Structure 1
Amino acid sequence: MGRPSPQTDRLLDLVDLMVERPDEGLALAEIARALNVAKATVHPMVTTLTRRGWLLRHPERHTYRLGPALVAAGRAAARGHVVVDAARPVVREIVDETGLPCLVLVAGAIPGEYDDLLVGEIVQPSARHAREWAAGRPGTGYHCLRLGDRIPPRPPLGAVCVAWSDDPGAVGRWLDRLGEDRPPDALEQIAPGLASVRERGWALEVENRLHERLKTLARELGEDRRSEKHAATLHGMLGEIVRAFDLADTLPPTVEPGARYRPTSVNAPVFDASGAVTVALCMICSSGAPGDPAWSGTDVIELGERVRAAADAVTAATHGRPPESRRL
């Protein structure tokens, strides 16, 4: 892996800052303050970016905002991945049918960090279709993501990428992303779920939100000196939860039509010519709010088959092929 380049990081941080605040003109001092660097460090960067058309400088206010050269760069980037390009119309169709947002996640796009996923496309439902879905189905939403965002696939996210991997260490590295939450028998717990992903061709992911909320609460209590005893007690409870936590619950090995589920997403893989996962279609099923209603197993299966069919269509359109295990 190459050596880090702080100057390059600062330049990209500057562009990211302008992308996050597209409707605001930022003065040099505001940019420097947001990046936590000196104005003298920022000045040559904004000068060069302005000269190249990546930024525009207001002649009177002396503020900067995104420039027209980025429009051409964005259009070129949008056409830069054949599979993402082929996925757009297919994903748009399933999003319009279901009223659910969909992420097109690119696998292996980051050199040296092949386990991470990149957001290649975000397709949102129209307001009309979203209302139609919400009238008889669970509400939906998704966290604030942008094109190009990098997502570390913490289990169960990423199951569709590792289920078919020929690398014996891939599942282990994926489970290592659980950190201290990884159960001692994590591989044994998750193996049936991964086998079912290979058999069905799609993954149902269910997040353990209670565990995450308790961790957040313990951290907040720990920051408050008055609550140190409460934090210690809660950390002890968390230890018990981790020991009792069944990782298999986040990647159910079976989906029963009559059962109820609280899915965060339903995913299916797109394969390249070698049979490796190159893109994952990720249908977002939850708003992330505690009150999200449960889904019936029938609805989950219906969505899973739709997403699998969409992913298979993209695989075929881009001359990919399923791995041997899918063709048996």
Structure 2
Amino acid sequence: MSGSPPTSRVVSVVELLAARPDGCTVAEVTASLDLNRATVSSVLAELERTGWARRRADRSYVLGPGLLGVTEAVRTALPLPPGAADRVATLADEARCGASLSLVEPHRMTFVAVSEGTSGRLPGGLAVGTRIPLRPPTGATVMAWRDAREQRAWLDDAEDDERDGLRDMLDALAGRAVTVWRLDDSAADLLGVLADVVDALADHPVRHDLRRRALTELSRLVGNAYRADELDTDRPLPVSYLAAPVFAGGAATHELQIGPLHPALARPERERIALALMAAAGELSQP
């Protein structure tokens, strides 16, 4: 683990309990996180003392009521558009694919609302609270609306040989309400494999670094953004994701995304889901 090992262990235990609402015994936590029993017992005892965990009659542990205040504080502090979760769920149903809303901050993107819709799967195995590094091309839809300083910082995280192309892409996306991303043939199968890896690691908080790396690679497989003239065709096109910026106080703060992951999306369907995405982004934006 990186950072502070004691802190990482506490975080891992809390996240494991969050992923296991039916409860975990000391033995199950020990096995899942590859920690010794004494450490797990000590962590759980302290979490129980503070109310962050609750020990049930069967000796299993679940999250405790002490976290309710923390949850409410996070909701208050987080710049989340009103009704975000419900609107993202509605968009997922309208688009018939997974949808997500993410907060775009310097150097990272945090998913704050997600919905499977009728697809039965979130785009890329994502969940609320998932964080990924903001490495190009991730977040390009929002970065195209940011100032030159933030764009330079974003480009600094790209490979040297990619920066010119990414700079041109930001110029092309400036002022655009919706970005449509390609789905390369070579990436289609890999997207599914990486999503499965992310899902498989979800119950293993101790493996955060590996899961984060898989998510980062997943986000980089969106391909390149289509130019406006390339979308002006009646031919079906391979599409991975569509994204739109969401605004607050005149600034692009969030990215709203849907993931059809379709190898040949017909023009009427492309336009239909793009309009649904634009409408949702407009409703989520705040003056």
User: Which residue matches 2:24?
Assistant: 26
User: Which residue matches 1:289?
Assistant: none
Partner SS for 1:252:
coil
> Superposed, which structure 2 residues align to 1:85-164 within 5 Å?
85-108=82-105, 114-125=106-117, 130=118, 141-164=122-145
Does the 8 Å CA contact 1:107/1:118 hold for their aligned counterparts? yes
* Pair 1:51 & 2:49 matched: yes
Structure 2 letter corresponding to 1:48 = E
User: Which residue matches 1:9?
Assistant: 8
| Equivalent residue pairs, number | 255
Does the 8 Å CA contact 1:156/1:251 hold for their aligned counterparts? no
Distance 1:215 1:100 in 2: 15
Q: Could you report, residue by residue, the CA deviation over 1:59-95 in whole angstroms, capped at 9, with x for unpaired residues?
A: 3x42222233445544553454343334344434433
Distance 1:159 1:175 in 2: 12
Does the 8 Å CA contact 2:181/2:225 hold for their aligned counterparts? yes
Distance 1:91 1:19 in 2: 22
User: Which residue matches 2:260?
Assistant: 285
Does the 8 Å CA contact 2:115/2:122 hold for their aligned counterparts? no
User: Which residue matches 1:297?
Assistant: 267
User: Which residue matches 2:278?
Assistant: 308
User: Which residue matches 2:186?
Assistant: 210
1:262 to 235, 238, 255: 238
Does the 8 Å CA contact 1:78/1:85 hold for their aligned counterparts? no
Does the 8 Å CA contact 1:256/1:298 hold for their aligned counterparts? no
Distance 1:212 1:6, change over 3 A: farther
Does the 8 Å CA contact 2:116/2:122 hold for their aligned counterparts? no
User: What is the TM-score with the length of structure 1 in the denominator?
Assistant: 0.66
Structure 2 letter corresponding to 1:30 = E
User: Which residue matches 1:250?
Assistant: 224
Deviation at 1:37, TM superposition (A): 2.4
Deviation at 1:209, TM superposition (A): 5.5
Does the 8 Å CA contact 1:160/1:203 hold for their aligned counterparts? yes
Distance 1:204 1:156, change over 3 A: farther
2:165 to 150, 165, 189: 189
Distance 1:172 1:88 in 2: 31
Distance 1:249 1:41, change over 3 A: closer
Partner SS for 1:104:
strand
Does the 8 Å CA contact 1:193/1:251 hold for their aligned counterparts? yes
Deviation at 1:198, TM superposition (A): 2.0
Partner SS for 1:259:
coil
Distance 1:305 1:210, change over 3 A: same
Deviation at 1:46, TM superposition (A): 0.3
Structure 2 gap ranges (5+) = 194-220
Deviation at 1:295, TM superposition (A): 0.5
Does the 8 Å CA contact 1:202/1:304 hold for their aligned counterparts? yes
Deviation at 1:118, TM superposition (A): 0.4
Q: Could you report, residue by residue, the CA deviation over 1:270-305 in whole angstroms, capped at 9, with x for unpaired residues?
A: 1232x432111111212xxxxx44212342233223
> Superposed, which structure 2 residues align to 1:27-42 within 5 Å?
27-42=25-40
User: Which residue matches 2:176?
Assistant: 200
Larger radius of gyration: 1
Structure 2 letter corresponding to 1:8 = T
Distance 1:281 1:98 in 2: 13
Structure 1 gap ranges (5+) = 109-113, 177-181, 218-246, 287-291, 320-328
- Quote the sequence identity (%): 25
Does the 8 Å CA contact 1:140/1:285 hold for their aligned counterparts? no
User: What is the TM-score with the length of structure 2 in the denominator?
Assistant: 0.74
